[in-house]
Structure 1
Amino acid sequence: MSTHRAVIEQFNEGAEHFDSWSVTKDERMLRGLAEFCELSANDDLLDVACGTGALALYGARRVRSVTGVDISEGMIAVARRNAAERGLANTSFVCRNVERLDLEADRFSVVVSRSAFHHMARHREVFAGMVRCCRPGGRLCIQDVMAYGDEKKDRYFEEMERLIDRSHHLTYGKREFFELFKDNGVKVTGLFESESLLDFHDYVEHVAQTEDSRRAIGRLLTAGLADADIATEFAEHDGRLVWRRKVCTIRGRKADRT
Structure 2
Amino acid sequence: MDYELIKASVQQQFNRVAHHYLNDSPMAEAGLLDLIIQAAEPRSDNLSLDIACGAGLLACRFAPLVSKATGVDLSRSMLAEAEKEAQRQGLANTAFDQADSESLPFLDNTFHIVTCKLALHYFPNPHRAIHEMKRVARPGGRIILVDRVAAEDPEAREYHNRIEKLRTPSKVKVYAPSEIQSLLEGEGLAVRAVRQYEQYQDVDQWLETTGAPPVNQKLARDLIGQSIEGDAAGLKLFRQSGRLMMTHSTAVFIAERSSP
The interval holding the TM-score normalised by the smaller chain is over 0.9
> TM-score when scaled to structure 2?
0.92
1:17/1:207 contact within 8 Å kept: no
Report the 3-state secondary structure (helix = DSSP H, G, I; strand = E; otherwise coil) of the residue aligned with 1:153.
helix
CA–CA distance in structure 2, aligned partners of residues 252 and 218 of structure 1: 36
Q: Deviations over 1:51-107 (max 9, x none)?
A: 111111111112111000111111111111111121111000000111111212111
Structure 2 counterpart of 1:202: 205
The number of aligned residues is 256
CA–CA distance in structure 2, aligned partners of residues 31 and 144 of structure 1: 15
Structure 2 counterpart of 1:177: 180
2:159/2:233 contact within 8 Å kept: no
CA–CA distance in structure 1, aligned partners of residues 74 and 168 of structure 2: 16
- 1:217/1:181 CA distance change after superposition, 3 Å: closer
Report the 3-state secondary structure (helix = DSSP H, G, I; strand = E; otherwise coil) of the residue aligned with 1:14.
helix
Report the 3-state secondary structure (helix = DSSP H, G, I; strand = E; otherwise coil) of the residue aligned with 1:24.
helix
1:196/1:244 contact within 8 Å kept: yes
When structure 1 is superposed on structure 2, of 128-137 and 214-223 the one drifting more is 214-223
What CA RMSD, in Å, does the superposition of the two structures yield over aligned residues?
Answer: 1.7
1:81 and 2:63 correspond: no
Report the 3-state secondary structure (helix = DSSP H, G, I; strand = E; otherwise coil) of the residue aligned with 2:28.
coil
Structure 2 counterpart of 1:165: 168
1:141 and 2:144 correspond: yes
2:18/2:81 contact within 8 Å kept: yes
CA–CA distance in structure 2, aligned partners of residues 231 and 153 of structure 1: 4
1:252 and 2:252 correspond: no
Q: CA deviation at 1:29?
A: 1.3
Structure 2 counterpart of 1:39: 42
Structure 1 counterpart of 2:66: 63
Structure 1 counterpart of 2:230: 228
1:110 and 2:113 correspond: yes
Structure 1 counterpart of 2:31: 28
> TM-score when scaled to structure 1?
0.93
Q: CA deviation at 1:151?
A: 2.4
Q: Deviations over 1:169-224 (max 9, x none)?
A: 10112222222332222222221123332322221122113222222223223322
Structure 1 unaligned residues grouped into runs of 5+: none
Structure 2 counterpart of 1:13: 16
1:194/1:248 contact within 8 Å kept: yes
Report the 3-state secondary structure (helix = DSSP H, G, I; strand = E; otherwise coil) of the residue aligned with 2:22.
helix
1:152 and 2:149 correspond: no
Letter paired with 1:136:
P
2:150/2:177 contact within 8 Å kept: yes
- 1:231/1:186 CA distance change after superposition, 3 Å: closer
Q: CA deviation at 1:244?
A: 2.3
When structure 1 is superposed on structure 2, of 172-181 and 130-139 the one drifting more is 172-181
CA–CA distance in structure 2, aligned partners of residues 94 and 111 of structure 1: 15
- Could you tell me the percent identity over the aligned residues? 27
CA–CA distance in structure 2, aligned partners of residues 186 and 152 of structure 1: 29
Letter paired with 2:19:
E
